[in-house]
Structure 1
Amino acid sequence: MSTPLPETETRTRAKRRTLAALAFSLFLAAMDSTVVAVLLPDISDTLGDSAQRAWVMSAYLLAVMLCAPLAGRLADRYGTRPILAYALALFGIASAGCGFTTGMQGLIALRVLQGLAGGSIIVLDYALLGSLFTADERAKAQGLLSLVWGFAALTGPALGASISAAFGWRSVFWINLPLALVLLLLLPGTRNDGSASAMQKPRPPWQPSPPRPSSRTLVERAFEHRDLLAACMLSFLSSAALYGTVALLPFYIGFGTHPAPYVAAGTIALAALGWSAGSAVCGHLLDRSGYRRFAALGLALMISGTALLALQGGRMDTIAICAGMGLLGFGVGFVATVSLVLAQNRADKGRLGGRTATIQFLRNLGAAIGINALTAVQITRSTDPHGGFHAAFTLLVLTLIPALGLALLLPERYLEPIVPERPRQISE
């Protein structure tokens, strides 16, 4: 007769299994934002209507951005695990539908559904991870999960191209359905996950929970607490800098004498690796060094990296470009981890999902605005291509330098007491 495992060891094993399931589900959602790029030629040949092929990617990314606040609110009301289960099911069904579609418009519509599910998975993974670990463990766990993003950025396109070459582009979508089913089996049942509904008896999603006082969002509370406002702004700026630079880089290198596709792919990979490594390092050391120091160091690295890009002229230095992208990615890893962990650690009970969703929304919003803003600056100097890129990267440097002041608004210590909300006055 086998001896039952101690309760602490059982909990540790369950936590590790959950962490593995969250990491793999995050990989699926993150990979689908990039893997379709290598499938577009085959998709266009099969379905026709090539004028709309760009929407196959854009529809997914826009849906990922827009669904974040809703996913967070649903998680806070009904529990993170049940909503994550629904998101995984929708992701698998929508992915299978993408593989069976016979028209471009149908594919775009299904990509919207897939993006809504994928964006929810991303938000809920981070929220559930935050609820599984205590405040002093959270930074390390978030840093480990952030490594998934870098792995997806590096392997997603290559993996999709290999599967498509062997079995056709439809199989890249079909494979998501069995993987989503496996993840549903690995996801633990509904227990206390730190959300509001976990404090009560489980209820079906169609039965709303009782109203709670003070249901303000992170952005609303941020204006009352300067450290939360600084975390929001840093999350926005770091994402704008990274994605705006990545969007311009292939065109920037294309005007030089290098073999543009290979250099651009390599430097973007360096940015992804730098971001993942920076997140892991920051997550491991954040509880010792505190928010302020890591945020300031991350911004200094971002400024250094973008300055190296801005200083390039007609004869671009490959080593300098690679170094600049590596420094930028490493710095973004620091800043992004600091802002997310601070927002989660300052969350009241039942607000973890909303906090995580707001930070994710600001990241996506920053990415969209950063891409368009830097591209607009570059286009205004279209008669002088190198001058346009120089102006765009210089503007980015000048934007990041004042952001160093935001780092000074962050707490120095890792665990700061949460300032309780003032009770509302009820008029008689």
Structure 2
Amino acid sequence: MGVLNLKYKKGQTNRPLVLAAVMLAMFMGAIEATIVSTAMPAIVADLGDFTLYSWVFSAYLLMNAVTVLIYGKLSDLFGRKPILFFGIIIFLIGSILCGFATSMESLIIFRLIQGFGAGAVTPIATTIVGDIYSAEERAKVQGYLASVWGISAVTGPAVGGLLVQYVSWHYVFWINIPLGILSLVALGMFLHEKVEKKKHEIDYIGAFLLTVSISTLMFLLVEGGGRWPWGSWQVLSLIILFIVTITAFVYHEGRAKEPVMPFNIWRERSIFVANVTSLTTGIMLIGISSFLPTFVQGVMEQTPIVAGFTLTAMSIGWPIASTMSGKMLISLGYRKTSLIGGVALLIGSFVFVTMTATSGPLWAAVGSFIVGFGMGLTSTAFIVSIQSTVSWQQRGIATAANMFMRNLGNTIGAALLGGILNNRLAHYLSDHAGKSEGTLTVDSANLLLKEDERSNLSESVRELLQDGLTQSLHWVYYVVLTFALISFILISFIPKKEQGSAS
């Protein structure tokens, strides 16, 4: 097989300091998510092109989803350290460029670069922890990693909101630079690997087919029913291209010597269920984190700081649940822990479905917290279960495969839910065109996202835009609730024999 025979030099690898460096790298990615979501209303208000709103997330998530499997496999072949280094450096380059963006188009291009690097950070950081800690220690340490999201949740929206209000949104991307440099220095000093040199066969064909198929799917979901009617030749061409490339990818991976995605690991039912459920929860996650600030600012008329802290609640619930799951996995097992998380996802999604303009930001924060709690229980149980099921030689790709499915869910969700939002808002404004003085379009929603521009609107136009945005976002949250129900059903298929003490 030519797999990597890698050992960590125990005398030189300092586990606590490596864990700190890994957490710093993950914090860089985590704070990016909370800050950009908080800043997006200000960014789109400044750069315009509200119709491209979802592309800012989709571009980043696309490259993240496509590269995570490739990085995971490369880390199994060549070692964790050089691949993680490469990813952090590319991420930092993309972050610098994003801060200099002068249009939505250029920002989207720079987000592609940023996502290309981000694909290496979380999966390899998580794999390193799986390597240097025993099966009994992993659940507890995964809780530490999850706490990174809680810390970023408190600092990210606060810093992001302050920068947007008092400085400029450009700085929300540059805050990553010192964090990335510190992580690189610490990993260089304290993580030491002994890599056995072997000749490997890189699965370039698999990587190419994966990139084309996922990119095609994203374009189809974003543009289908919007710019291109569902029956148009463009949409039909994309559907055919996706079917051909994804079929070729699956066929090729079954015959490749060192495949990007070894499907044999999916034969274990617990891994299969964990990966498919990560897809559905990924769709939920992006649906809430991408569009909640828009609802809180545009409909509830709150500040960017308040909008940011409604998302903070999710990232606080997540690490709390992840920390609790360490003991729950041992006492209850993977299945029951995951089922409790699935119930929390249902309850949190229902909170968003019932949210109105008069509900207030506290209601939004409660929904965020409950969803975050559910995510913390399920994601931690999945990762610990997967890393305990496979051998070291497949741990990198197995961990990456699970994160790929969540990233794929994020990508599908950003495209699908962004398309639903634009489509429903366009229909609403078209149906109520006679109630406004001028012609309103989807881009008119930009006017709700800045207080000074919102205050200049006539009461009838403001109410029309807010009602349209409310109804459109409710469509998004109904889809989120549907995927929460699907996630719960999938979790119920986890084998009952799975125990938290699996090695």
Contact 1:272 1:329 in 2 (8 A): yes
- The verdict on how the C-alpha distance between 1:339 and 1:411 changes in structure 2, with shifts beyond 3 A counting, is farther
Q: Does 1:413 align with 2:456?
A: no
Which stretch shows the higher mean deviation, 227-236 or 110-119?
110-119
Q: Does 1:402 align with 2:489?
A: yes
Separation (CA, whole Å) in 1 of partners of 2:170 and 2:21: 25
| SS across alignment from 2:280 | helix
Separation (CA, whole Å) in 2 of partners of 1:253 and 1:175: 24
Q: Does 1:77 align with 2:164?
A: no
Q: CA deviation at 1:390?
A: 7.2
Q: Does 1:344 align with 2:387?
A: yes
- The verdict on how the C-alpha distance between 1:258 and 1:129 changes in structure 2, with shifts beyond 3 A counting, is same
Aligned to 1:145: 145
- The verdict on how the C-alpha distance between 1:162 and 1:230 changes in structure 2, with shifts beyond 3 A counting, is same
Separation (CA, whole Å) in 1 of partners of 2:177 and 2:360: 45
Q: How does 1:86-105 map to 2 (within 5 A)?
A: 86-98=86-98
Aligned to 1:241: 284
Contact 1:239 1:367 in 2 (8 A): yes
Q: Does 1:326 align with 2:369?
A: yes
Separation (CA, whole Å) in 2 of partners of 1:234 and 1:96: 34
Q: CA deviation at 1:344?
A: 1.4
Aligned to 1:7: none
Which stretch shows the higher mean deviation, 371-380 or 153-162?
371-380
- The verdict on how the C-alpha distance between 1:103 and 1:17 changes in structure 2, with shifts beyond 3 A counting, is same
- Paired amino acid for 2:340: L
Q: Deviations over 1:258-316 (max 9, x none)?
A: 85867654432222211221112113442333211101111122222223444567864
Contact 2:283 2:412 in 1 (8 A): yes
Q: How does 1:11-410 map to 2 (within 5 A)?
A: 14-36=14-36, 54=53, 58-98=58-98, 108-160=108-160, 162=162, 173=173, 176-187=176-187, 188-192=190-194, 198=195, 200-201=196-197, 208=200, 215=258, 220-250=263-293, 259=302, 264-311=307-354, 316=359, 321-373=364-416, 388=475, 391-392=478-479, 395-396=482-483, 398-407=485-494, 409=495
- Give me the CA root mean square deviation: 4.1
- Paired amino acid for 1:281: M
Q: Deviations over 1:83-120 (max 9, x none)?
A: 11222233334444555677876654443222211221
Q: Deviations over 1:305-330 (max 9, x none)?
A: 22344456786487665443322221
Separation (CA, whole Å) in 2 of partners of 1:285 and 1:11: 33
Separation (CA, whole Å) in 1 of partners of 2:101 and 2:343: 48
Q: CA deviation at 1:74?
A: 0.9
Q: Point out where structure 1 has 5 or more consecutive residues left out of the alignment.
A: 1-9, 193-197, 418-428
Which stretch shows the higher mean deviation, 224-233 or 375-384?
375-384
Separation (CA, whole Å) in 2 of partners of 1:139 and 1:16: 16
- The verdict on how the C-alpha distance between 1:347 and 1:92 changes in structure 2, with shifts beyond 3 A counting, is same
Q: Point out where structure 2 has 5 or more consecutive residues left out of the alignment.
A: 1-9, 204-254, 429-467
Separation (CA, whole Å) in 2 of partners of 1:28 and 1:412: 34
Question: What TM-score, normalized by structure 1, do the two folds share?
Answer: 0.76
Contact 1:291 1:411 in 2 (8 A): no
Separation (CA, whole Å) in 2 of partners of 1:261 and 1:367: 23
Contact 1:42 1:169 in 2 (8 A): yes
Contact 2:202 2:258 in 1 (8 A): no
| SS across alignment from 1:183 | helix
- Paired amino acid for 1:242: L
- The verdict on how the C-alpha distance between 1:323 and 1:98 changes in structure 2, with shifts beyond 3 A counting, is closer
Q: CA deviation at 1:234?
A: 2.1
- The verdict on how the C-alpha distance between 1:105 and 1:217 changes in structure 2, with shifts beyond 3 A counting, is closer
Contact 2:96 2:173 in 1 (8 A): yes
Contact 1:234 1:339 in 2 (8 A): no
Which stretch shows the higher mean deviation, 181-190 or 379-388?
379-388
